[in-house]
């Protein structure tokens, strides 16, 4: 009797579960990504830009806490605040005053440090065009199933971001870099967050698909810093990232918060500037995009005893090269070099010849002058 009830319970449970599994299987691959990367860049040096390093390290901390390993994070810090000789608490970088939270920790791995943080290196990391001797920790080895989080902070202006007080990256360059990444299939979806003055100008020029961007202020507004710590003597964080950190502290790997919640972080009352976002290039609805799709490396694991028929959503993607009419938007690679033409190059020929009239006229004149100078009597010696 008990065995019967248990058995029936088990059957109903498993059948219930199997229905769930079938549904979940559809959701399983809904986001389309299989790995996560993060590129976190602080572009300012000098002690008074402590807050930019703290910004980047706080995002690093959140991203690492939510599961992205150091091998998948490219952390670029333009200056060393933890071991700066003006730091009264060496080997620490605090994000909250009264030293509540040390974002530096024991296991921070900085990949690009100090003067290595340049526009060229940043663009090379993004596009993957690094010299062969670059170690793996300094490369963004993403593929077309990677979701990448890119976080930039520093001093910026309308259309540019300043690197190291000596050079700038413009919004056009950034947009072109992302287009290169798209054409080389280096990302599946990309979330771009920027915390600088007039940060919205940096995402104005994006034109590649699957990009979502957030900025801490609109064009014409400055992003303000949050709070100084009187013991350390500098401002510790910027407002936008401070509230972003507070928001992310509530996220855990299984949370279902989506991007719409992220857009609400730091309203004008808290941030003084108006954060902006851009989702028109993003193919999915932002409400269906989980925070952990970008900030964490959440591997979906469902343990089941059932066999699942992986039906249409998956097969359609696999069959798309065959059934071309099913695909609505077809992306293609950029034109490659016409190698065949280069290999069989013909030798260069001199194609241009001076016109005959010119040669005739010129030499007639020269002969005329010659004979005028030396007299016609010489003619009889020649002929």
Partner 1 sequence: MAAPLTLLLIVAVTIRAALYRSSLADLISERVEVVSPLTAWKRVVEGLALLDLGVSPYSGDVFHETPLIIYLFHFLVDYAEITFMLADVITAVALYLTVKEYNKQVFRKQKYALEADRYPLDCLELIRSPKEMFYIPLKVAMFYLLNPFTILSCVAKSTCGLNNAVLSLFILATVKGNVLLSAIFLSLATYQSIYPLTLCASALLYLMQRQYIPVNFRRASFWWFIVQYAFMYLGSLFVIVCLSFFLLGSWDFLPSVYGFILSVPDLTPNIGLFWYFFAEMFEHFRLFFLCVFQINVFFYTIPLSIKLKEHPVFLIFMQLAVISIFKSYPTVGDIALYMAFLPMWSHLHRFLRNIFLVCCVLLTCSALFPVLWHLWIYAGSANSNFYYAITLLFNVAQILLVSDYFYAFLRREHHLCYGLYLKRKDGYEATLVLK
Measure the CA–CA gap between 26 and 105, rounded to whole angstroms.
40
Tell the residue number behind the tokens 């010489």, with chain if given.
Answer: 378
9 or 359: CB nearest partner 1: 359
CB of 360 to partner 1, least distance (A): 10
Measure the CA–CA gap between 344 and 355, rounded to whole angstroms.
31
CB of 120 to partner 1, least distance (A): 18
Q: Is 372 in the site for partner 1 (CB under 8 A)?
A: yes
Q: Is 365 in the site for partner 1 (CB under 8 A)?
A: yes
33, 42, 72, 197: the active-site residue: 197
Member of 132, 254, 351, 382 binding partner 1 (CB under 8 A): 351
Q: Is 352 in the site for partner 1 (CB under 8 A)?
A: yes
Member of 330, 350, 380, 381 binding partner 1 (CB under 8 A): 350
Measure the CA–CA gap between 362 and 370, rounded to whole angstroms.
12
* Annotation marks residue 155 as catalytic: yes
Q: Is 136 in the site for partner 1 (CB under 8 A)?
A: no
Q: Is 377 in the site for partner 1 (CB under 8 A)?
A: no
Member of 11, 362, 367, 379 binding partner 1 (CB under 8 A): 362
In a 10 Å sphere around its CB, with 0-12 CB exposed, 13-18 middle and 19+ buried, how is residue 181 labelled? Answer: buried
280 or 351: CB nearest partner 1: 351
Measure the CA–CA gap between 188 and 181, rounded to whole angstroms.
10
For 117, 131, 132, 138, 303, the CA distances from 135, given in Å and listed in that order, are 16, 9, 8, 6, 37
Q: Residue 339: which residues within 8 A CB-CB, separation 6 or more?
A: none
7 or 374: CB nearest partner 1: 374
Q: Is 355 in the site for partner 1 (CB under 8 A)?
A: yes
Judged by CB under 8 A, the chain residues 241 through 260 that form the site for partner 1 are: none
Member of 6, 231, 369, 379 binding partner 1 (CB under 8 A): 369
Are residues 61 and 108 in contact, defined by beta-carbon separation less than 8 angstroms?
A: no
Q: Is 345 in the site for partner 1 (CB under 8 A)?
A: no
Q: Is 349 in the site for partner 1 (CB under 8 A)?
A: yes
Listed residue (294, 297, 305, 205) closest to 258, CA to CA = 294
Measure the CA–CA gap between 194 and 210, rounded to whole angstroms.
17
Q: In the numeric block, which tokens belong to residue 195?
A: 């915390």
Q: In the numeric block, which tokens belong to residue 84?
A: 């700066």
CB of 87 to partner 1, least distance (A): 33
Q: Is 361 in the site for partner 1 (CB under 8 A)?
A: yes
Q: Kindly list the catalytic residues.
A: 155, 197
Residues that bind partner 1 (CB under 8 A): 348-355, 357-358, 361-362, 365, 369, 372-373
């Amino acid at each position: 009797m008990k065995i019967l009830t248990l058995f029936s319970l088990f059957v109903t449970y498993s059948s219930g579960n199997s229905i769930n599994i079938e549904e979940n299987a559809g959701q399983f691959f809904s986001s389309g990504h299989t790995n996560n990367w993060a590129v976190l860049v602080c572009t300012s040096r000098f002690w008074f830009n402590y807050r930019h390093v703290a910004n980047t390290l706080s995002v690093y901390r959140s991203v690492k806490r939510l599961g992205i390993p150091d091998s998948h994070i490219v952390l670029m810090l333009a200056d060393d605040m933890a071991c700066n000789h003006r730091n009264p608490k060496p080997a620490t970088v605090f994000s909250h005053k009264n030293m509540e939270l040390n974002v530096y920790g024991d296991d921070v791995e900085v990949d690009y440090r100090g003067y290595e943080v340049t526009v060229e290196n940043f663009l090379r990391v993004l596009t993957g065009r690094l010299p062969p001797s670059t170690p793996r920790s300094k490369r963004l080895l993403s593929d077309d199933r990677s979701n990448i989080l890119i976080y930039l902070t520093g001093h910026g202006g309308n259309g540019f971001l300043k690197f190291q007080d000596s050079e700038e990256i413009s919004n056009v360059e950034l947009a072109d870099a992302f287009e290169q990444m798209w054409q080389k299939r280096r990302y599946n979806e990309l979330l771009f967050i920027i915390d600088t003055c007039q940060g919205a100008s940096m995402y104005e020029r994006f034109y590649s698909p699957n990009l979502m961007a957030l900025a801490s202020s609109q064009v014409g507004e400055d992003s303000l810093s949050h709070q100084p710590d009187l013991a350390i003597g500098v401002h510790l964080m910027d407002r936008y990232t401070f509230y972003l950190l507070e928001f992310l502290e509530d996220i855990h790997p299984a949370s279902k918060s989506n991007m719409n919640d992220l857009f609400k972080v730091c309203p004008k009352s808290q941030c003084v500037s108006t954060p902006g976002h851009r989702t028109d290039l993003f193919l999915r609805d932002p409400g269906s995009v989980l925070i952990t799709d970008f900030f964490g490396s959440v591997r979906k694991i469902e343990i089941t005893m059932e066999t699942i028929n992986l039906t249409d959503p998956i097969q359609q993607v696999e069959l798309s090269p065959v059934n071309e009419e099913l695909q609505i938007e077809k992306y293609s690679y950029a034109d490659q070099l016409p190698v065949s033409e280069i290999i069989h190059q013909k030798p260069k020929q001199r194609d241009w010849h001076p016109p005959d009239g010119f040669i005739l006229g010129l030499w007639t004149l020269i002969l005329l002058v010659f004979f005028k100078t030396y007299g016609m009597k010489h003619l009889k010696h020649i002929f």
